[in-house]
Structure 1
Amino acid sequence: MSNATQIIHSIPTDPLTGAIAVPIYQTSTFVQEAPGVNKGYDYARSGNPTRAALETIIAELEEGSVGVAFASGLAAIDAVIKLLKSGDEILAVDDIYGGAFRLFTHIYEKFGITVNYVDTTNVENVFNAVTPKTKLIWIETPTNPTLKISDIAAIAKVAKSQGCLLCVDNTFASPALQKPLTLGADIVVHSATKYLGGHSDLIAGVVVAKDKELGDKIKFIQNASGAILAPFDSWLVIRGIETLSLRVKQHCINAQAVAEYLEQHPAVDKVYYPGLKSHINHDIAKQQAKGFGGVVSFILKNDTEEAAVQFVTNTKLFKLAESLGGVKSLLCHPANMTHKSIPAEKRKDAGVADSLIRLSVGLEEVEDLLNDLEKGFDAVEKLNALIAIGQKKDFQKIGY
């Protein structure tokens, strides 16, 4: 069965009524026949049929044993970190999502869980950085926002040889393109806000564990901590998954066209997109995924924060906003937005330049998107011209 067909038919019909859409069980509690005797549910924090349907669906799509749905992607990450104890270490990808960095550094380090950051695109870096205290290797692939690709299968071998868990943030790829558990990972996390939901209308996160015992531990943590996904939001994610394969296919087509356009543009210094043959990790991306995703990042030749701000505030179709993975195209300036919580020096070491711009390429006609990006480049060109003649203040006055 093809991946697209599997995704569509992973969503069950309702066994009670035959409804082809999963019902929304909007309830806080469930009537019991006797104390402890129920129909599988007692209290909605511990379990809800709509949420359970989503958890089963995502576990099947990622080819894992247990899926757990959370109130946000960060709540999902938080639950995974709670598998650890004081004194344990995390080995994490250097180009990491700012929210994960904030959680690791400002919340868990004070509880005695330390984090070491390395460039995980080089497997030797991972092997050399593991210590006896390392209990979890954490990678994003592609990374956010420089779209580095790590060899999941190779890192999984390192993790197993060293007695570590490997967790892969699969948000940018989704199970439509990549299945880390089949490559040896132990845990997959998603911000379901992004491609799984797909319509910029919810906040959600999921965790999928390959091993049932490990998944049951995560479910216990969720029940104890309470960061559950509500029934209606669970239903929205399920509805998004129905069109996941179709949406992601078009995201990839549009993003490839945008990346190729940017690579030839005279105002662009560097383009990050795994689908480009010039991408340093193109071959491994092609090997472990079925496509290259809908996110493209690039650095302007005028590598200043001011140039980036001029660009991102002058497009019309690409809306300036946090997040990604929706039908409508978005763009952001990571240094000022998604990665602002990461110290500037560490950002730059990971490749997040002052003028780096991240695009979430949507489902609009690609010609319209390219024309829209030209508006951003026009604004940067005017800025460059006015800087050259010493009239930058005049430029700011005219509203660019």
Structure 2
Amino acid sequence: MDSWRNVPPVVGESDGRRKWLRCTVAPFINAEIFQARLSAPLFDNISTMGTNSTRGETDKFVLTANALHKALPKFHFSTQAVHADDFVSPHRAIAPAMHPAVNYRYTRDPDQLVEMENDDPNAPFDSHVYSRYTAPNSNRFEIILKTLFGYSTVSYASGLAAFNSMLILVNPKKIFITDGYHGVHGIIDIMHKLNGLQKLSLDDIDQAGPGDMIHVETPLNPTGEARNLAFFKEKARAVGAILTVDATLAPPPLQDPIQLGADLVMHSGTKYIGGHSDMLCGIVVIHPDRVQEGWEKTLREERQVLGNVMGSLEGWLGIRSLRTLFLRVTQQSRNVQGIVAWLHKGLEDRNSVIGRTVTKVTHSSIQKDALDEGWLQKQMPGGHGSLFSIWLKSREFAKRLPSKLYIFQHAASLGGVESLCEWRAMSSEDEDPLLLRFSLGVEDLEDLKADLLQGLEAFLTEDS
């Protein structure tokens, strides 16, 4: 699909929008290049992309920017991740700069000042005034996100900030949710205290009505198992409810919940989108029909007031991370399918190291009913998320195994390039003390298997 079809125009869109470059001396975008992108014809001949750019060759660079812009939908996901934001580059540096500025100067020409009661937060490529409204790094980050997801996206300071913004936007009387990230339930509890929001189980979905919110996390934390979004879409559509999805554990290119009928999709970008365990971020993706109804506009306006915008450093780190999203996620997906299959097979032999220490493994790749019914392959055509869980035969095994591993790090969170193992009792008193959650990184699969095997063998050696 042409993921740029919904990019809003910049110049002269409305009287309320700041006119191009009138109110700043530090524009986000090279004005000549971007203005030309809007007005000049796009070129089918991609060979113009080879033209070099210098200050004296702006016209040639315009040809390059326009040709690349038109070609983007034809490119592979990984190519889009590297080049989706080329057209907003204000200079010749290959790596984008980090802009920590909070505020930006207005023009010194009073004749060019435009009176406005309020800055328009829905002008993502316009000049900047104050970084709680818009900022160069976070805007550029959203440009890449829009291309990779194929839909309008809004970024936030964290995954919980993204969920909170969805909840405020939908403003339901009831929310249907089962399991999932504990922080989401914490926000729901706060909303119950403030406005009486009712929380019901997904098992009670037949009680949903118009305007209610059906929130589905898939794959599910911590089991890594998938839920059938087609089922929940039909339930939501039948009664006029809103379907929201937490797709944190299966980022692009693994699945597309919007295509499957979700109205809103959230990601804790701290995980796979960031991918390096060094940034907090949240993302909300909006169905095109809901964009037409003004949902993106409202989300941006409310973000400006709520103040839950991501910082400039996080925006810059996010740009860096998106460049390698495809490489990281596909490698992690290959790793998890390999190690889960190895563990699952090991359970069949009760005399093996795995069979003598592990009692259960959960992950979408071994979710037999879902695979037999066929919906899982349609829902996750790009592969499986890299989080899974195992249950050990004793609490002491589960508590001590992480300290016996060398490659796997004992830590919370998930989605980074490094593989993690967490004794889940450390995160919540409600978690099964036999449960260990694993998040696979990009290391070599055989090294990961060897590390886990030697850790399990260590228990048997100690017990003998």
- Give TM class, smaller chain: 0.7 to 0.9
Pair 331,221 (structure 1): closer, same or farther in 2 beyond 3 Å: same
- Listed as ranges, the matches of 1:1-400 within 5 Å are 1=74, 2-33=76-107, 34=113, 36=115, 40-65=127-152, 67-85=153-171, 88-92=173-177, 94-105=178-189, 107-111=190-194, 112-118=196-202, 125=203, 127-128=205-206, 130-132=207-209, 135-210=212-287, 211-212=290-291, 213-263=294-344, 264=346, 265-266=354-355, 267-276=357-366, 278-282=367-371, 283-289=374-380, 290-300=382-392, 302=393, 304-337=394-427, 340=428, 344=430, 353-381=432-460, 385=463
3-state SS of 1:68 partner: strand
Question: What is the distance in 2 between the residues matched to 1:245 and 1:132?
Answer: 38
Q: Considering Cα pairs closer than 8 Å and 6+ residues apart, tell me whether 1 or 2 has the greater RCO.
A: 1
Question: What is the distance in 1 between the residues matched to 2:395 and 2:197?
Answer: 34
Amino acid at match of 1:328: E
Q: Which has the higher helix share?
A: 2
Amino acid at match of 2:415: G
Contact kept? 1:312, 1:320, Cα under 8 Å: yes
Counterpart for residue 35 of structure 2 = none
3-state SS of 1:308 partner: helix
Amino acid at match of 2:249: F
Question: What is the distance in 1 between the residues matched to 2:208 and 2:142?
Answer: 34
3-state SS of 2:98 partner: coil
Question: What is the distance in 1 between the residues matched to 2:370 and 2:185?
Answer: 23
Contact kept? 2:273, 2:325, Cα under 8 Å: yes
Q: TM-score, normalised by structure 2?
A: 0.72
3-state SS of 1:83 partner: helix
Contact kept? 2:271, 2:414, Cα under 8 Å: yes
Shift in Å, 1:373: 0.8
> How many residues get paired?
360
Percentage identity across aligned positions? 31
Shift in Å, 1:240: 0.7
Pair 145,89 (structure 1): closer, same or farther in 2 beyond 3 Å: same
Larger Rg over CA atoms? 2
Deviations 1:126-153 (A, max 9, x none): 642x333762111111010112312223
Deviations 1:340-364 (A, max 9, x none): 16xx3xx5xxxxx331111111111
Deviations 1:255-292 (A, max 9, x none): 1111122111202221112123x544334322211101
- 5+ long unaligned stretches in structure 2: 1-73, 108-112, 120-125, 347-353
Question: What is the distance in 1 between the residues matched to 2:391 and 2:375?
Answer: 23
- 5+ long unaligned stretches in structure 1: 119-124, 348-352, 387-400
Question: What is the distance in 1 between the residues matched to 2:230 and 2:313?
Answer: 36
Counterpart for residue 393 of structure 1 = none
Question: What is the distance in 2 between the residues matched to 1:20 and 1:163?
Answer: 47
